[in-house]
Structure 1
Amino acid sequence: MKNTKQQLVLDQIDKKLVLFQSLQIVVVPLKGWVHTVRTALKMSLRQLGNRMHFSAQNIKQIEEREANGTISINSLREVANALDMQLVYGFVSKHESLEQMIEKRARELATEIVMRTHNTMTLEDQQNSKERIEKAIVQKTNEIKSEMPKYLWD
């Protein structure tokens, strides 16, 4: 059952995630941030390499790994430090809140469960009205949200 502690955790994380909401519209440069910032500063591969104690070829590989999405967070953090910058890492939610995400998933599950029962009853010629089905979905959604069962994200 979702208790006050769980609700508090959700609320606290939502407050942190909302700070990233405006970043949804940020477009990552085609060649990546490392290349973009480095060239904007008119810093050569060799110069950044010297700051990191790497060769120019290593920096080129870092830029390529960032551009194709295979770079590690630690590597990005090291580059940021060498550029006298700070790496900021976080998630931008596709929903207004974690609560909304839970609501959406709970409704999906509730619909599956209710419709399975509805199909069985239809086969037995005992089908329910659309209103009754919707009411059952709402009730099951609320139950799932309240209990937050382990199968919620299966």
Structure 2
Amino acid sequence: MRNKKQLLLEQLDQKLKPFRKTEMVLVPDRGWINTIRTALNMTMAQLGAKINITKQGVKRIEESEAKGSISINSLKEIGNALELKLVYGFVPKDGTFDNLIDIKAEKLAKKIVLRTNQNMTLEDQGIGDENIRKSIKELSHEIKREMRKSLWD
């Protein structure tokens, strides 16, 4: 049975599904504002007039976007002035949140099992490779099911 957290993650993955292929979208060197403004054949002065700033102000905004230091509010403001919608979010690098949690859970389980086995081996009670793999798999499922906070340490 799925718990509430798993259900929330599944819903989040479903909502983000359309954005998974966004790694193909690269931010232009001069930023989106400059690229779109130029493509629309709009001058800095014209854009500045729409948001009540000078063309030098527009230049500073475009430069700050290109450097990655622009605020989300500034992006929204420019988007509204250009009658565009700002799309903002995070998408897991390796597919889904479920995938991300699987990877983290396995890594944590492996760390725990190997550390425990090392201590047991020192006491001549090691469990062997097959049992280690089985223990990692079982612990990984348990960690994922419980959504332990230690996943993120």
TM-score past 0.5 threshold: yes
Aligned partners of 2:21 and 2:100: how far apart in 1? 18
Number of the residue aligned with 1:5:
4
The TM-score, its normalising length taken from structure 1, stands at 0.93
Deviations 1:77-132 (A, max 9, x none): 10011111111112222122211111110101000000111111222222221111
- The list of structure 1 runs, each at least 4 consecutive aligned residues, that deviate by more than 3 angstroms after superposition, is none
Question: SS where residue 30 of structure 2 aligns?
Answer: coil
Equivalent positions of 1:66-85 (< 5 A) are 66-85=65-84
Question: SS where residue 66 of structure 1 aligns?
Answer: helix
Does 2:60 match 1:49? no
Deviation at 1:76, TM superposition (A): 0.4
Number of the residue aligned with 1:17:
16
8 A Cα contact 1:20 1:90, kept in partner: no
Count of aligned pairs between the two proteins:
153
Aligned partners of 1:7 and 1:117: how far apart in 2? 28
Aligned partners of 1:65 and 1:23: how far apart in 2? 22
Deviations 1:26-59 (A, max 9, x none): 1110000000011111111111100110111111
Aligned partners of 2:11 and 2:31: how far apart in 1? 31
The sequence identity of aligned pairs, in percent, is 49
Deviation at 1:3, TM superposition (A): 5.1
Given residue 109 of structure 1, which amino acid in structure 2 is its aligned partner?
L
Aligned partners of 2:122 and 2:3: how far apart in 1? 42
Deviation at 1:22, TM superposition (A): 2.4
Aligned partners of 1:152 and 1:92: how far apart in 2? 18
Deviation at 1:135, TM superposition (A): 0.6
Unpaired stretches in structure 1, ≥5 consecutive residues: none
Equivalent positions of 1:40-119 (< 5 A) are 40-119=39-118
Deviation at 1:20, TM superposition (A): 0.6
Question: RMSD of the alignment, in Å?
Answer: 1.4
